[in-house]
Structure 1
Amino acid sequence: MNIFKILALGCTISVFLSFSSTQAAEWNYEQELQQGCGKLKQYARLGKQYYDQKQYAKALTQFEDQAAWSHFCQINAEESGVNVTDREIEIANNNVGLTYAKLSKPLWARAWFLRNPDSKMSQFNLSQLPKMQQSTSLAGTYVAKNGFGQWDTITVKKLKNAYQIEFEGYYFGLRGLIYGPNLGSFEVEMPLNQKHAVYHYEDCQIDLTFASHPQQGQQIVVEEQQNTSGCGFGHNVSASGTYLKVEAK
């Protein structure tokens, strides 16, 4: 009987500790969410301050935080207590794009403006960028937009006889900016004289096609076959999409 009481007591303590840990994690999340959302005006103010001072690298850090948290706080408005409009997200994204333009990185600027392609603000800023310079080399960094101001990335490196292609992708849940995303990655090689690659792994097949768009420049169109459970990606991670070239190698 005494043994039963001790075991029962131990079970009660274990359940209590588990419940307390859950409460603590929830409280920490809400605290971090509210603190992050409470800094939105600060990110915008400091970004503009550095931008006006022509300290563009410092401005970029602030504006990228503004863009990420603006979207995150909008999605989690009930818990954060902060209401963010679509217009404010457009402004944040364009702030990043304008800063990249000042840093002489028009490809990155274009990608950020295209996060809101139907925005008149984005369309105007796109019209101010220099004309696309077409390159014959496929090597470089390509990105496709993800949630909360983040990007999925494909890196293409030119080797002696082939291009090495590396994909890194994410899935951000509702709390992903704080808890972190699910991850997925793969690597594949493509002959130098080709513009199409296929990644195979178990029942996973992913097609990558290199193309050129007159307004958007070099890009990679990625298509997954219907059954991608064998790709080994984290939950809800997908490689599908159009990736814009933002850096040359």
Structure 2
Amino acid sequence: MKVLLPALLTAGFLFSAQSLAKIDEPDVEADCEKIADYAALGNAAYQKGDYVKAADHFRDQVAWSEFCQHPQSALATAYNNSALAYLRQGQLRKARAWLALAAEDKKSQYNLSRMQDSLAALAKPTSPVGEYWQYAGFGSWNTVEVKAKGDRYEIHYDGLYMGAMALYYGPNIGEFTAVAAIKDQQAVYHQSDDSDYGGTCDVEMVFSDENVALKTHGDCGFGHNVRADGEFVRVAP
């Protein structure tokens, strides 16, 4: 499969921390001034062919660009940089997930158009086995991972809530693992009230070729504002 590789986007941007000054102006301002450095480090790694390291630096560019409330055009550049680093690794679906964060941006549309033939050539999934992403903010993703386990599946959910100061204090987190059958493209995680993690809850999961939709009923005892809900897009295989 031949993958068309668009040119990398780089940019450095000015920072204004007025809305965050009341929190910790010296630290916030200094950290926000590092965004151009993250972009430059990512670009340097990208040019050397170290696309894993480039993706790490571009993720930092994304996270701090969002935190520091850069304009949408700057965020789109950071998302596209992350997408191109994954594209160079041959991870087309992950690249597409990053581009979808700024789907209306012309850079995203151009890069996605260059990927369309390669995406169309990917083998159609034959089972729910794979990895699924849902954007949590600040460069981080909620994930669902599905592995075959005999005639059933091991389903692992990792969820995050990226609060306003998550880049300093970390996110709220929640997770579950279920070994279950997936029948008619549906599965359920059930947690009883004697669980170590919280009260009774059920997480319904509905799979399709390219995504899984989660819906939680009850309180699973995750971190504050963490909830297994919404659509997750397939990013692997």
When normalised by structure 1's length, the TM-score is 0.76
1:62 to 57, 63, 67: 57
Deviations 1:166-186 (A, max 9, x none): 111011111011101111112
State the alpha-carbon separation in 2 of the partners of residues 223 and 67 from structure 1.
28
Report the more deviating stretch, 201-210 or 167-176: 201-210
Aligned residues: CA RMSD: 2.1
Deviation at 1:109, TM superposition (A): 0.4
With over 3 angstroms needed to count, the CA separation of the structure-2 counterparts of 1:197 and 1:30, relative to structure 1, is farther
Deviation at 1:151, TM superposition (A): 0.3
Could you tell me which residue of structure 2 aligns to residue 209 of structure 1? 206
Which secondary structure does the structure 2 equivalent of 1:48 belong to? helix
State the alpha-carbon separation in 2 of the partners of residues 133 and 123 from structure 1.
23
Which secondary structure does the structure 2 equivalent of 1:96 belong to? helix
Deviation at 1:147, TM superposition (A): 1.2
With over 3 angstroms needed to count, the CA separation of the structure-2 counterparts of 1:29 and 1:183, relative to structure 1, is farther
Which secondary structure does the structure 2 equivalent of 1:133 belong to? coil
Does the aligned pair in 2 maintain the 1:210–1:219 contact within 8 Å?
yes
Structure 2 segments unaligned to the other structure (5+ residues): 1-20, 194-199
Which secondary structure does the structure 1 equivalent of 2:41 belong to? helix
Determine whether 1:224 maps to 2:205. Answer: no
State the alpha-carbon separation in 2 of the partners of residues 29 and 233 from structure 1.
29
With over 3 angstroms needed to count, the CA separation of the structure-2 counterparts of 1:155 and 1:234, relative to structure 1, is same
- Structure 2 residue identity aligned to 1:206: V
* Structure whose residues are more often helix by fraction: 1
Could you tell me which residue of structure 2 aligns to residue 125 of structure 1? 111
Deviations 1:171-218 (A, max 9, x none): 111101110111111222332554201122244222101012xxxxx2
1:45 to 40, 54, 60: 40
- Structure 2 residue identity aligned to 1:196: Q
- Structure 2 residue identity aligned to 1:64: R
Could you tell me which residue of structure 1 aligns to residue 236 of structure 2? 247
Determine whether 1:168 maps to 2:168. Answer: no
Q: Which has the larger radius of gyration?
A: 1
Does the aligned pair in 2 maintain the 1:141–1:154 contact within 8 Å?
yes
Could you tell me which residue of structure 2 aligns to residue 134 of structure 1? 124
Deviations 1:102-129 (A, max 9, x none): 1111111011111122222212212222
Deviations 1:197-247 (A, max 9, x none): 1122244222101012xxxxx21111223xx3x211111112112111212
Determine whether 1:104 maps to 2:101. Answer: no
Q: Give aligned pairs, total.
A: 206
- Structure 2 residue identity aligned to 1:221: A
Percent identity between the two aligned chains: 36
Deviation at 1:46, TM superposition (A): 2.1
- Structure 2 residue identity aligned to 1:105: Q
- Structure 2 residue identity aligned to 1:207: E
When normalised by structure 2's length, the TM-score is 0.80
Deviations 1:117-163 (A, max 9, x none): 22222122122221243120321211100111110011111101200
Which secondary structure does the structure 2 equivalent of 1:146 belong to? strand
Does the aligned pair in 1 maintain the 2:128–2:208 contact within 8 Å?
no
Could you tell me which residue of structure 2 aligns to residue 87 of structure 1? 73
Structure 1 segments unaligned to the other structure (5+ residues): 1-25, 75-83, 213-217
Which aligned runs of 4 or more in structure 1 are off by greater than 6 angstroms?
Answer: none
Could you tell me which residue of structure 2 aligns to residue 144 of structure 1? 134
Which secondary structure does the structure 1 equivalent of 2:102 belong to? coil
State the alpha-carbon separation in 2 of the partners of residues 184 and 60 from structure 1.
25
